[in-house]
Amino acid sequence: MSETVEPAAGTESRAPAAGREGRILAVIDMGASAIRLVVAEAAPDGTLRIMEEASRGVLLGKDTFTDGRIKAPTMQATVRVLKGFKRIMEGYGVVHCRAAATSAVREASNRDSFLDRVRLRTGIEVEVIDGPEENRLTYLAVREVLGGHDMLRNGNTLLVEIGGGSADISFLRAGEPVFSGTYALGSIRMRQSLASWRGNHDRRVLLLRRHIHNVVEDIKREMPLREATHFIALGGDVRFAASRLASPGETESGARLHFLKEPDFLALCDQLAGETVDDLVEHFRLPPADAETLVPALLAYNELLLATSAEEVTVPDASLRAGMLIDLALGEDARRREDFSRQVLASARALGEKYRYDALHAENVARMAVRLFEELRSEHGLEERDRLLLEVAALLHDVGLYINRRAHHKHSQYILSVSDIFGLSREDMDVVANVARYHRRAMPQKSHLAYMALDRDTRVRVGKLAAMLRIANALDADHLRKVRDLALVREEDEWILEVDGAGDLTMERLATLARSDLLTEVFGQKVLFRESARP
């Protein structure tokens, strides 16, 4: 539903101190049915104070999901709205703004032209974010509101937001996201798919239910929905349902919270599904755009709730915009990087479990790969993000064995290229998939299409990371975890890999020398193997 962001103006949210006094921040969310602005002050103690909110209805999704492109009138309306938002931001002296567009812009065939037009006419750079980033930002907002609540400490939780273009779904274990995905359950998308169908209202609702049921059956194959004992729902449509069923409570931080009993929520969904759009407008005084999305969204929440073991629906005052604000206020401090890395690796391990990976071997290879990354830090010039991607690729390099032992490195690449890991973008997953592809056998070649589809700088990164993974995998060639540690000794014309291990390391020596080819090609140094003299 196209309503303003929560919490309401004047409320406060806690985030770790940002390090700069009195920063005025702004976020812009370009969704499928509306463009929204939030301006907030980030105080030195980490408090976020909402100063102003604005929302303007612009049906980006209606264009994209009907014709595949954003039309000229919609483009002009977007520019007018953003010009107005810019004047508001200038009035507050905003020092940092993040503008993000989701599925309606992401899927438009003319998105590049659209974004260029917006930039030239308004001066606002709009970032197109993908599903994993939406899930991460939404999770930040929910954790801020419910951080101390039992549902984020114990048990399994399904976190769902039905937007105009897609549904963002995360599965949490003890509050940590382990599965996440973006699915074609957007309310506007579903509405537009039935726009040309001329049947009566009841028949239209039946078709919607069937479509939603089929998508949820697919989601069940990717996430253990039945294991979820808590159900958290976000979005304007479910907030409307909550306003009809319950009075809001409050968390310890003062944030509003609704708890809806499953039978009451399901009954309300059935009741509203029997109403036409005109009926909803008349009975509930809803704007027509909100009335159009209400039933498709609630039917999706309904079906997902039934797939879980949850007995109630929790509706917090959290949103993508709130997550974006928290993200800006947090900055890139060490604690945040550690927290993010833990969430990414938890999700990677869950994916490995899904494909029955050898966890002990995977963990050992990941540990050796990270050690080699640190030993080569002065040589590779890579960033902390690359270290994390290497660790993920090392954990999952053998998932292709689930398909077939033969050429399993290629199967690993395919599986990772089509999988979601919480917090990692599609570009990140392309890097992970290619690094895993080269953990054995052939080095990167011009004939490898997935590798050549990367830009030049990314291909260089993949080469460096894959070179380290090949060595790390060789150090556990027989999966017996005999190598405990390593060090890189630099000599004039060669590098000596000094290995601290137990038992006979002949297999590891032979494998390391055989698989050091890529490292030699990338770094221009011959690699030798030597056992450590340490006891």
Q: Are 364 and 53 in contact (CB under 8 A)?
A: no
Q: 132-318: which CATH architecture?
A: 2-Layer Sandwich (3.30)
Going from N- to C-terminal start, the domains of the chain cover 12-129, 132-318, 334-481
In which order are the strands placed within the sheet that holds 494-501? 483-490, 494-501, 526-531
Instruction: Tell me the C-alpha to C-alpha distance, in Å, between residue 509 and each of 372, 376, 472.
Output: 16, 20, 12
Say whether 132-318 and 12-129 share the same fold.
Answer: yes
Q: Pick one of 3.40.50.2300, 3.30.70.20, 3.90.105.10, 1.10.3210.10 as the CATH number of 334-481.
A: 1.10.3210.10
pLDDT in tens, the chain (535 residues): 443 333 333 344 444 433 445 789 999 999 999 999 999 998 876 678 999 999 999 999 999 999 999 999 999 999 999 999 999 999 999 989 999 999 999 999 999 999 999 999 999 999 999 999 999 999 999 999 997 788 888 889 999 999 999 999 999 999 999 999 999 899 999 988 887 777 888 999 999 999 999 999 999 999 999 999 999 999 999 999 999 997 666 655 556 789 999 999 999 999 999 999 999 999 999 998 899 999 999 999 999 999 999 999 999 999 999 999 999 887 766 667 788 999 999 999 999 999 999 999 999 999 999 999 999 999 999 999 999 999 999 999 999 999 999 999 999 999 999 999 999 999 999 999 999 999 999 999 999 999 999 999 999 999 999 999 999 999 999 999 999 999 999 988 899 999 999 999 999 999 999 999 999 999 999 999 999 876 5
- What is residue 390's DSSP assignment? H
CATH number of 12-129: 3.30.420.40
Backbone φ and ψ of 298, nearest 5°: -65, -35
Does residue 527 contact residue 512 with C-beta atoms inside 8 Å?
yes
Q: Measured at the alpha carbon of residue 242, what is the angle toward residues 240 and 246, in degrees to the nearest 5? A: 140
CA separation (Å) from 170 to 141, 179, 316, 337, 358? Answer: 13, 6, 15, 20, 25
